[in-house]
């Protein structure tokens, strides 16, 4: 679907530590009885949050109703609701690539409308709901430019490097900061005898592009120039894709071209592969922590000795449409949902990862989920996908070409050139760049 730009009781003693928490709950209790409708993704990311709804209802008398959809259906339903004169949903769950459409298109409340000031979130999570995007990200042509926070990041995710700690120790590969050179060393040592040095998702579109993203940026590549023309046909991107294709062809299992998240997770969990790029949410709590490590994605060593690492952020946030039937009640709920006590409740499950610094680094949670420290590091370094409504199509185009290069149908250089030709054509055709 083409999109055009023009067109919330915690324990009292703890609540007292959070600005406005007690006031929010008091206001909610005094509000006219209503039902707050929440459009949510039908996955673990929202399920653990939905489990808190009865607690909020008990404390405030306000009913919270989660309406769940598949990923694609959620996006479509939310678009249909925000375009109408009278919206259906009071709160919408947003994957971070959707924020440019919803916030940049002027369809969301700037939370400053309710007197909100951000506090407590990890920088890499909060950036997702900032509009315009933070420095370092080009602003889409025609985007709404009122600066502010247009949602609250409630469920964190960021790509991480998952590896066999026991295998790496055996071969003496235990760097403080992993580089892609270290990954190739580990892959070379561990491939053979029914085991593989690398496993990856290679489905076209999102899967291929997401897994490749940390390598592309670590080698200095990028998707767009400041004028939104394609920047993939570059020496840096070519070096990255050439290395990526080598990982696939030399060290990955047969049939990897059709692998999804489940296949990658199972290869790691069952000791069939040495390393992978994965989203930790939903997997980290299932892995044998004595054998498998979750750390910040590999990078490339720089002239000054530092390592450039570029994890991809995948934060789910909640926003309030301007046409929400019960906007004030919705704001009170999402404020409650995002405070420290609620994040600690659902963060203890290990399924939905918190986005607050004081929760991710909580000593009790770190004892239960040690990888939260590495997750915090990754989220601090996290990079967002390009902030444009065109991203879903760009991702599909580029992902198709990456898979063709992996399969040997075309060279890495041809893949990058093909992608740029198609991306530039799409961006011009739909008015994202000047013709």
Backbone region of residue 306 per phi and psi (left: phi > 0; alpha: psi in -120 to 50; beta: other values): beta
Closest C-alpha to 241, from 261, 216, 224: 216
Contact 103, 5 (CB under 8 A): no
pLDDT at 245 over 90: yes
Q: What is the mean pLDDT of the chain?
A: 90
Q: Kindly write down the DSSP assignment for every residue of 90-113, as one continuous string.
A: SEEEEEGGGHHHHTTTT-B--GGG
Distance CA 435, CA 421 (A): 14
**Furthest-apart CA atoms within the chain: distance in Å:** 67
Distance CA 26, CA 118 (A): 21
Burial of 40 (0-12, 13-18, 19+ CB in 10 A): buried
pLDDT, position 143: 65
Bridge partners for 245 per DSSP: none
Secondary structure class of 187 (helix, strand, coil): helix
pLDDT-based confidence at 144, cuts 50/70/90?
low
Q: Which residue has the higher pLDDT, 81 or 257?
A: 81
Distance CA 114, CA 247 (A): 50
pLDDT at 296 over 70: yes
pLDDT-based confidence at 34, cuts 50/70/90?
confident
Distance CA 395, CA 386 (A): 10
Distance CA 291, CA 298 (A): 19
Taking only the tens place, the pLDDT of each residue in 320-367 is: 999 999 999 999 999 999 999 999 999 998 888 999 999 999 999 999
Taking only the tens place, the pLDDT of each residue in 377-419 is: 999 999 999 999 999 999 999 999 999 999 999 999 999 999 9
Closest C-alpha to 177, from 347, 6, 311, 362: 311
Residue 409 CA: distances (Å) to CA of 4, 201, 403: 35, 18, 9
CB atoms within 10 A of CB 122: 27
Backbone region of residue 37 per phi and psi (left: phi > 0; alpha: psi in -120 to 50; beta: other values): beta
What are the structure tokens assigned to 400, written together? 């198709």
Taking only the tens place, the pLDDT of each residue in 68-111 is: 999 889 999 999 999 998 999 999 999 999 999 999 899 999 99
Q: What is the mean pLDDT of residues 213-237?
A: 96
pLDDT-based confidence at 188, cuts 50/70/90?
very high
Angle at alpha carbon of residue 395, lines to 355 and 88, rounded to 5°:
60
Residue 48 CA: distances (Å) to CA of 105, 119, 156: 30, 22, 13
From 32-36, 157-161, 373-377, the region with the lowest mean pLDDT: 32-36
CB atoms within 10 A of CB 302: 11
Size of the chain, expressed as the number of residues it contains: 435
Look up tokens 């000791």; give the residue.
Answer: 271
DSSP 322: T
pLDDT-based confidence at 7, cuts 50/70/90?
very low
In the chain, the domains with their CATH numbers are 12-157+314-381 (3.40.190.10), 160-312+390-429 (3.40.190.10)
Distance CA 264, CA 259 (A): 7
């Amino acid at each position: 679907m083409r999109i055009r730009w023009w067109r919330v009781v915690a324990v009292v003693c703890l609540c007292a530590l959070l600005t406005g928490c007690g006031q929010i709950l008091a206001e909610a209790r005094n509000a006219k009885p209503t039902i707050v409708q929440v459009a949510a993704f039908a996955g673990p990311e929202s399920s653990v949050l939905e489990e808190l709804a009865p607690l909020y209802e008990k404390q405030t008398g306000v009913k919270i109703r989660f309406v769940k959809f598949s990923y694609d259906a959620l996006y479509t339903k939310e678009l249909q609701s925000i375009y109408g004169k009278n919206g259906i949903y009071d709160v919408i769950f947003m994957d971070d690539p959707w924020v440019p459409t919803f916030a940049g298109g002027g369809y969301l409340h700037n939370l400053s409308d309710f007197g909100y000031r951000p506090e407590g979130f990890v920088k890499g999570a909060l950036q997702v709901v900032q509009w315009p995007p933070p420095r370092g990200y080009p602003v889409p042509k025609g985007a709404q430019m009122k600066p502010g926070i247009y949602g609250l990041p409630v469920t964190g995710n960021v790509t991480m490097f998952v590896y066999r700690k026991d295998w790496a120790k055996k071969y003496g590969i235990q760097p403080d900061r992993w580089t892609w050179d270290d990954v190739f060393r580990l892959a070379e040592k561990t491939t053979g005898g029914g085991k593989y040095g690398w496993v990856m998702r290679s489905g076209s579109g999102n899967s291929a592009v997401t897994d490749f993203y940390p390598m592309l940026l670590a080698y200095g590549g990028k998707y767009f120039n400041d004028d939104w023309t394609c920047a993939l046909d570059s020496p840096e991107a070519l070096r990255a894709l050439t290395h990526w294709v080598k990982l696939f062809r030399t060290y990955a299992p047969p049939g990897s071209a059709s692998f999804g998240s489940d296949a990658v997770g199972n290869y790691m969990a069952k000791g069939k592969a040495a390393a992978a790029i994965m989203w930790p949410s939903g997997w980290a709590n299932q892995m044998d922590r004595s054998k498998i490590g979750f750390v910040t994605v590999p990078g490339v060593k720089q002239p000054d000795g530092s390592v450039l690492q570029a994890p991809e952020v995948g934060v789910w946030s909640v926003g309030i449409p301007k046409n929400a039937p019960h906007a004030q009640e919705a704001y009170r709920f999402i404020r409650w949902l995002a405070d420290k006590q609620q994040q600690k409740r659902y963060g203890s499950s290990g399924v939905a990862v918190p986005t607050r610094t004081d929760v991710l680094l909580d000593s009790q949670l770190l004892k239960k989920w040690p990888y939260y420290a590495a997750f915090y590091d990754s989220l601090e370094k996290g990079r967002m996908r390009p902030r444009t409504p065109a991203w879903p199509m760009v991702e599909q185009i580029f992902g198709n070409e990456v898979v063709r290069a992996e399969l040997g149908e075309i060279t890495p250089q041809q893949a990058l050139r093909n992608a740029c030709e198609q991306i530039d054509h799409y961006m011009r055709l739909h008015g994202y760049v000047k013709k």
